[in-house]
Amino acid sequence: MHYVSTRGGGEPQTFSKILLEGLSADGGLYVPEEYPQVTTEELANMRGMSYSELAFAVLSKYIDDIPPEELRKMISETYTKEVFGTDEVVPVRELGKGLFLLNLSEGPTLAFKDIALQLLGRLFEHALARSGEELNIFGATSGDTGSAAEYAMRGRKGIRVFMLSPHERMSPFQRRQMYTLQDENIFNIAVLGTFDDCQDVVKQVNADAAFKSRYHLGAVNSINWARIAAQVVYYFWGYFKATRSNDEQADFSVPTGNFGDILAGYIAKRMGLPVRRLILATNENNVLEEFFSTGKYRPRTGAEVATTSSPSMDISKASNFERYVFDLVGRDGTRMRELWDALGSEGAFDVADSEDFARVGESGIVAGSSAHADRVRTIRAIFEKYGVLIDPHTADGVATGLRLREGGVPLICLQTALPEKFADTIREAIGREPEASARYAKLADMPERFEVFPPEAEKLKQFIAAHAR
Ligand SMILES: *Cc1c(COP(=O)(O)O)cnc(C)c1O
């Protein structure tokens, strides 16, 4: 299996080559040369597998340059009850007839990013051990992604994490979750400023190419291919749990921002999983819904991004969308460069009148969006009807999923976070806060470990230089 750039440049690369890299040198994203197919027989075998066995069956199609037994070991050490709370790893619950919740949120940070990042931590450690290199992950977080990265990389050899967060501006839950980590390779840096200030400092430090290379600075971002591949697995899992036989089809409803989660579903469908429709759900930041209804893709400016009660979907552009557009344009790198040039010069592109847009139908994606009032109403309705509390991101998916649902086909809604992370919205919906899980309650007695810094790149560089290797 080789990987090619969406902009058509460069030579095809192996999985291990692209694992630690973000972008291709031509600015594009890596995608598999072709989507591996699952045969009818393979699908039949997969139905009875445990999550970890299934993950190996799917991922070994994408990762063929790590010895299979080593890959199997990393996967089986990741998808365990110890890490994800239950033997199923991803529990599936039927709410009402044909309506399912795929619970991706039982990992250490109680949100779905753990599913891919927990494996990524092991893959990174393995790759670094092979090459003898070190990696210093350096980034900024407003709360969620950074903590998932820290929990994935804690204690991993050859890796340190320097994570900036806005001092005293995170929710108590987010702060406790990150700052109570005691691992020596995790450095929490509380910046006296906003999340934007944190991002600016990260940019300034990264702009010093000599420093960046001397200290092996890297990132764990949402365009990492291994993350997408790891997410493909749970579409297979959810499908098997919600259907009785592989002759049936199922629909998925997916709350999305960066187009990462739904891209994984699209790839599962392309591999041959009997997915009928993928319902893409955005919040008020509806860049993607706009594309699917009009053919125009217009990323927003920072000032246009609304702060919502499903904050992990508050994005200005959808960083993984390029991988999907590559297929829409028939994998034509030249056309991709034209479209992304138009994004650069005009801030948008429009494919409404082209054959490309016609391929949207084949891909099975339909889109909708919801707003704060819809989320609150949906959280309340699901709680009253089924006694189950969902978080605001999941509620975006459920709201749009139920609106676009068609009868006779199971609807599987992705549960992307647990409600206790978003107590304010839950209180608004049902009049009281959700109960904290035992795992979070345990954090209450742990000391916090963080350094406070002004938003100054030079001071940060000194700190990194003193602690990095
Ligand atoms: C990141 C995130 C999403 C959106 O995922 P994408 O990769 O942007 O599709 C949805 N819900 C939660 C809770 C998240 O953290």
pLDDT tens-digit profile, the chain (469 residues): 999 999 999 899 999 999 987 788 899 999 999 999 999 999 999 999 999 999 999 999 999 999 999 999 999 999 999 999 999 999 999 999 999 999 999 999 999 999 999 999 999 999 999 999 999 999 998 877 899 999 999 999 999 999 999 998 888 888 999 999 999 999 999 999 988 899 899 999 989 999 999 999 998 888 999 999 999 999 999 999 999 999 999 999 999 999 999 999 999 999 999 999 999 999 999 999 999 999 999 999 888 999 999 999 998 899 999 999 999 999 999 999 999 999 999 999 999 988 889 899 999 999 999 999 999 999 999 999 999 999 999 999 999 999 999 989 999 999 999 999 899 999 999 999 988 877 777 887 889 999 999 999 999 999 999 999 8
Best residue for ligand 1 mutational test, from 416, 420, 425, 426 (most atoms within 8 Å of Cβ): 416
Assess whether 113 carries a catalytic annotation.
yes
What residues contact 444, with CB distance under 8 A and at least 6 apart?
A: 176
Q: Which atom of ligand 1 is nearest to the CA of 263?
A: 9
In the structure encoding, which two tokens stand for residue 44, read together? 């039949």
Which residue's alpha carbon is nearest to atom 1 within ligand 1? Answer: 312
- Quick count: other Cβ atoms within 10 Å of Cβ 132? 7
The full set of domain ranges for the chain reads 92-109+227-430
Give, in degrees to the nearest 5, the angle at Cα 151 between 146 and 155: 125
CA of 312 to the centre of ligand 1 (A): 5
Say if strands 3-5 and 30-32 run parallel, antiparallel, or are unpaired. Answer: antiparallel
CA of 284 to the centre of ligand 1 (A): 14
Q: Which atom of ligand 1 is nearest to the CA of 394?
A: 11
Closest CA to 373 of 428, 322, 333: 428
pTM equals 0.96
CA of 11 to the centre of ligand 1 (A): 31
**Cβ of residue 220 lying under 6 Å from some atom of ligand 1:** no
Best residue for ligand 1 mutational test, from 112, 262, 267, 289 (most atoms within 8 Å of Cβ): 112
Q: Which atom of ligand 1 is nearest to the CA of 254?
A: 9
Which residue's alpha carbon is nearest to atom 5 within ligand 1? Answer: 256
In the structure encoding, which two tokens stand for residue 339, read together? 């479209």
For domain 92-109+227-430, the CATH class is: alpha beta
CA of 414 to the centre of ligand 1 (A): 10
CB neighbour class for 135 (10 Å; exposed up to 12, middle 13-18, buried from 19): buried
Q: Which atom of ligand 1 is nearest to the CA of 260?
A: 7
- Quick count: other Cβ atoms within 10 Å of Cβ 393? 31
